Chains A and B, each alone.
Chain A
Amino acid sequence: MAEILSADDFTFDQHLKDNKLLIVDFWSPSCIPCRMMDHNLELIAGIHGTSIKIIKINVNESPKTSSRYLVRTLPTLLFIQNQKVKSQLTGAVNSKQIGKVINEICS
């Protein structure tokens, strides 16, 4: 089971040093589709095990990280490996769509 962790403007950079594929979930409490994504990310965490790490960022509390990656819509998922953004999904997506991107990056 992959880790699902929360990060903010102060702690996010520590995660970037990780060799794993990071799936960064930008969300806010008022975004209902973001809430719906939680279940899909839990499924992904279960399927992909320790090869990935899921980082959740509340944009209300982490404006610098959101600006740095030009995130202006929610939900947004960034797929980051070796500090580089490999792919991005915006809007509500299901677990199969997330899994497809992971497989494309890891293949």
Chain B
Amino acid sequence: MSKHWEIIIIGGGPAGLAAALYCGRALRSTLIIEKYFFGGQIITSDIIENYPGYTDPQSPADLMERFIFQVKKYGVEMENNEVIKIEREGETWRVNTNDGFSTTDAIILATGSEHRFLGVEGEKELRGRGLSVCATCDAPFFKDRRIAVIGGGDTAIAEALHLAKFASDVTIIHRRDQLRAERILQERAFHNNKIKFLWNREVLRFKGFKRLESIQVKDKISGNIEEFAFDGIFMAIGTVPTTELVKNLVDLDAEGYISTDISLKTSSPGIFVAGEVVKGNHRQVAISAGMGVQASLSCEEYLNTLPKK
């Protein structure tokens, strides 16, 4: 049976959960829907050391458990389901899931992002066959093996540092001649004797039959084509925003991010956004949580403008 909510939050990562906390405390009837697992992608990380207020390294899963506990405390309903369509229905929004629908006065979209892939030959076929996106999940398969990590940002370097605890050696393959990651992570990687670097390399293809065997790259300086054998390769080249659900409802920019202002409202009245669906988030838990708070406060202001029912 369908139910009407004052607010439906779509996405249960740091942004969605922070928004849910504030909506709950505003005593708004609130439903938060998460497709996979509450806590979001951050829980697949090894540790989090830069969430303000925590001086010791935290387990991301434990940190997100505390977010969830806090949300439940304020009466927010949590549902594990997939939203398949959002549509305007009179004065409200209808949110359709796999097995039903709910209506709502306002939506906070915090659907986050998905792993970016290169789209090169062999990539699709070898995913889960030695090509991975989750170091904490798949590291046990690569004990004392040769591993590569593709990327140069925070995620790539954090994954390389985690994998170095298991692998015989870890090679970071990066398309530039310097990293983008936090300086403290860079320093740890440069001083880890298991970690090596292949700079200025463009990935051309992944090779292997039934399991990954090697990678073919192009040296962007010399133009030489090279091939290196690895047992496992971890992709960490960024993400793409998950905005398919609202592409016909709100304005998106050319890269698929939702256009918004500092209040995090969208071009569609009653739809607010938070987290990695907004350009420039930098994929930090603290930023996503802050955006969730901002979106919920803007949403509260919007709800106060609606006629009393």
Chain A residues proximal to chain B, CB less than 8 Å: 28, 30-36, 40, 59-60, 66, 70, 72-76, 90, 92-97
Indicate if the CB atoms of A30 and B140 lie closer than 8 Å: yes
Contact A32 B138, CB 8 Å, known A70-B210, A73-B132, A92-B37? no
A31–B82 contact, CB under 8 A? Answer: no
**Could you list 6 A-B pairs, sorted by A, with CB under 8 Å?**
A33-B137, A72-B128, A72-B232, A73-B138, A74-B137, A96-B81
Contact yes or no, A75 B137, CB < 8 A: yes
Q: Which residues from chain A contact B35 at a C-beta distance below 8 Å?
A: 94
Chain B 32-54 against A: per-residue CB contact (8 Å), 1 yes, 0 no?
A: 00011101000110000000000
Using A73-B128, A94-B80, A95-B80 as known contacts, say yes or no to A30 and B136 having CB atoms under 8 A apart: yes
- Closest residue to A30 on the B side, CB-wise? B136
Report, nearest first, the 10 A-B pairs whose CB atoms are least far apart. A36-B37, A73-B128, A31-B137, A74-B137, A92-B36, A32-B43, A90-B128, A32-B61, A28-B140, A96-B98
| Chain B positions within 8 Å of A92 at CB level | 36-37
Task: Check B139 for interface membership: any CB of A closer than 8 A.
Answer: yes
With an 8 A cutoff between CB atoms, is B130 at the interface? yes
**Cβ of B205: which chain A residues have Cβ within 8 Å of it?**
none
Q: Does B141 contact A (CB under 8 A)?
A: yes
Inter-chain contacts of A33 with B (CB < 8 A): 36-37, 43-44, 134, 137
| B211 at interface, CB cutoff 8 A | yes
In whole Å, how far is A71's beta carbon from the nearest beta carbon of chain B? Answer: 8
B132 near A72: Cβ-Cβ < 8 Å:
yes
